[in-house]
Amino acid sequence: MQKDLKHYRKSYEKNQLAQDNLPSDPLVLFTSWFKDAEDNPEIGEPNAMSLATVGSDMFPKSRVVLLKSFSPEGFTFYTNYNSEKGKDLAENPKLCLNFFWPALERQIIIRGTASKTSEKDSDEYFKVRPRGSRLGAWASQQSQEIPSHQYLIDEISKLEDKFENGDIPRPGHWGGYLVEPLHFEFWQGRRNRLHDRIQYEKAINGDWKIKRVAP
């Protein structure tokens, strides 16, 4: 059965992105836009981002993960290193992040390269996760076939017994990635699909080249 979506229409009219007052550092603009997303009650998870990877099979794969920190060094998220995304990044560290905030009619696209965070950083973050999430990191062999959801519940039960009287250490297959950004695009929806698209490209000397591109 065919579903016709041609009648879907939305006019973007909430804001604009002028080029005459842009910061030279894209992280400054990212920080400002991220705060706007944090402050907007319509956005439940401002740190939710789409992560796209390409592994040895050459198929792009995209999924939503959560940003856990950002700084001049880059953007950090955590996952199972044995997962599909972890295997892709072991083959090819180039990736793309996308933040889409419909309530603000904005998106940010970031291209860069990923490297594993230090064991110390991964340990520190793992310790502040809820107990259930720490158990889940042990129970889930992410991206592997399992017989049922009950299998996971049974695994959690075993782990609750195992770690009943002690701390839950970080499993060696679980940790963080730091994404070093090389390219930013800030997209602001505009009327008549004449959207603002401002790109920052990192030069060899570390400076950022800024340009506007057609929507």
Q: Please give the model's pTM, rounded to 2 decimal places.
A: 0.93
CA–CA distance, 26 with 18 (Å, rounded to integer): 14
Q: Helix, strand, or coil here: 137?
A: helix
- For residue 48, give its domain range: 26-126+175-212
- 208 found inside a domain: yes
- 19 found inside a domain: no
- 144 found inside a domain: no
- pLDDT category, 118, cuts 50, 70, 90? very high
Could you tell me the CATH number of the domain that includes residue 98?
Answer: 2.30.110.10
Token pair listed for 112: 């860069």
Q: Helix, strand, or coil here: 153?
A: helix
Structure confidence at residue 120 (pLDDT): 96
- 135 found inside a domain: no
Q: What confidence tens digit (pLDDT) does each residue in 8-32 have?
A: 988 999 999 998 889 999 999 999 9
- 11 found inside a domain: no
- 13 found inside a domain: no
- 159 found inside a domain: no
Total number of domains constituting the chain: 1
Q: What confidence tens digit (pLDDT) does each residue in 86-104 have?
A: 999 999 999 999 999 999 9
DSSP states of 29-64 as a string?
A: HHHHHHHHHHH-TT-S-TTEEEEEEE-TT--EEEEE
